[in-house]
Amino acid sequence: MNGCRIPHFGLKKQYRNLKDELLDATDKVLSSGNLMNGEYTNRFESWLASRTKANFAITVHSGTQALEIMARYHTEPYTTMFDMTPKVKLPNLTYVATLNAFINAGWEVELLDTHNDGLVYEHSESLDDVVNSVCIVGLYGAQPPTDNLVYNNVIVDGAQHWLIADNIGDGMAISFDPTKNLPANGNGGAIVTNDRGLYEFAYSYRSNGKNQYMTFGTNSRMSEQDCAQILVKTQYIDKWQWRRKEIRYYYLDRFKALPINCLSRNHTIHSDQKFVIYTDQRDDLMNYLLDKGIDVKIHYTHALSELPMAHNLVKPDMLSVSVMMTRGLLSLPIYPELTDSEVEYVAEQVKKFYTIC
């Protein structure tokens, strides 16, 4: 079959469904002449703080920059008061943006192995004085465990699970990348926190240190147009999340007898950002589904420890669970615009592959 009949993301369908509302919001912003830091930015930040039960929310250019800004905020006490480089522990199985954010902020990084659902369930109790932070990642939308953490700072990478997060730590980074559950039509991110100091630092840092110029900064803002358009989508997010959940339950039911591990199987609470399976026959299954017109993806082809940029980091060995998992991970379509017949077709083709193999 030439081309993919069922794309992996539903952005075209979503735009068709919301076209009039999105264009109306865009017209209102452009007609006002106020394109940055205005009414829609304030409204969206207020909605976001309320949704995450945080005291403060501040929009920035991307989820990666949200993480980097939080890391830079926590850097100062170590560099100025203790003359030391801060260190952070990260899960070995996640997107490279998480690693980039801390390296760009000047942190030393240690990579932790994961269990077979890609989450870090156990953190080392033998912490020395210089390992002072951990970054929690809700891989693929799962709720990460945050109980009994003994680190000085807990930074949450909520890019995939923020809609169901029950702990925002010292601060949580959010992504509105077009592939996420609540997508912007370009880049977009945010920080939510209960720490006023972090909020004030981020507010200044995202505008090149404005207003006092006491610290360095950068230009990292979402536009009024971005915020107005995403506010339209906030009206539908609960409906979309319910639909994602329906699709997950359907897949889980249809796949329960198959020799695959559905990474969301053991999670009652899940944001369903992705539906990821592990199979020893990943490449064969992927090629089969692509041939049947189903666009599937691999998230992620390599663990962070395998990347050239991680050559000097403390990390798991090549036989770690996280490394081995990358050899069999495959993501199936799960966006809310999928029709029932499309969902049924995806499940049918996965089952048929194992019937004929």
* pLDDT score recorded for residue 286: 98
* pLDDT score recorded for residue 253: 97
The separation between CA 195 and the C-alpha centre of its own chain, rounded to angstroms, equals 22
Name all contacts of 158-164 with Cβ < 8 Å and 24+ positions apart.
158/192, 159/63, 159/95, 159/97, 160/271, 160/273, 160/274, 161/270, 161/271, 161/273, 162/52, 162/138, 162/192, 162/271, 163/51, 163/237, 163/241, 163/271, 164/138, 164/269, 164/270, 164/271
Domains and CATH numbers, the chain: 13-234 (3.40.640.10), 236-356 (3.90.1150.10)
pTM tops 0.95: no
Mean pLDDT split into 10-residue runs, the chain, 357 residues: 78 96 96 92 98 97 96 80 82 95 92 86 49 84 74 85 94 96 95 96 89 75 96 98 98 96 89 97 97 96 94 87 95 98 97 92
* Alpha-helical regions (H) of the chain: 11-32, 39-52, 63-76, 96-104, 196-205, 224-234, 237-255, 282-291, 321-325, 340-356
Q: How far apart are CA 59 and CA 46, in angstroms?
A: 10
The separation between CA 215 and the C-alpha centre of its own chain, rounded to angstroms, equals 28
Q: How far apart are CA 106 and CA 43, in angstroms?
A: 33
Q: How far apart are CA 139 and CA 294, in angstroms?
A: 23
